[in-house]
Amino acid sequence: MPDDQHRMTVDDDVEIPAPADGEVWAVGAVILHGNGHAFAQKRSPARRLFPDCWGIVGGHVEPGETLLDALAREVEEETGWRLRRVRRLLGISTWTGDDGGGTRHEADYLVEVDGDLGRPALEWSKHTAYDWFGPDDLSRLMENRAPGDRLIHDVVAKALQERPDPA
């Protein structure tokens, strides 16, 4: 069971979709620091999807993985942190990238992690920088994004607005 395997908890009211056969899914994790800022990393200019753009931690769900498995794997691969708690579903979106990969469904979650939040272990071949974003600098999340491409901005803004009390 993923919860035991990764020693994570999932709040009772969190929706975890089960992908249908043939659907391509991605997951995203908005990680908040105790100071109320959200973690984002800048994708390398060489990336096929969203080059040189700020993004949240996440990626594609691999065949045979559940969304929770993928979420835990992506958090650890991209930051070195361990997923501790899934607090809430921030939203499900459907989008098509310019990489020929077709339509994707994405579930983005507000999560808590274990690890040194001041020292993420980025995948430097895929990312060039990281930062913590508060309500006053969310506009930076729009850097190098196409007009109307507000998914990352809006999901981070929602996480900051609906920030739960720490438990």
Band the pLDDT of 167: cuts 50, 70, 90: low
Q: Where do the domains of the chain lie?
A: 2-17+26-161
Mean pLDDT of the region 28-33? 96
Q: 3-class SS at 121?
A: coil
Band the pLDDT of 147: cuts 50, 70, 90: confident
This prediction's pTM: 0.90
Q: What is the DSSP string of 62-91?
A: PTT--HHHHHHHHHHHHHS-EEEEEEEEEE
CATH of 2-17+26-161 given 3.40.50.300, 3.90.120.10, 3.30.1180.10, 3.90.79.10: 3.90.79.10
Q: 3-class SS at 158?
A: helix
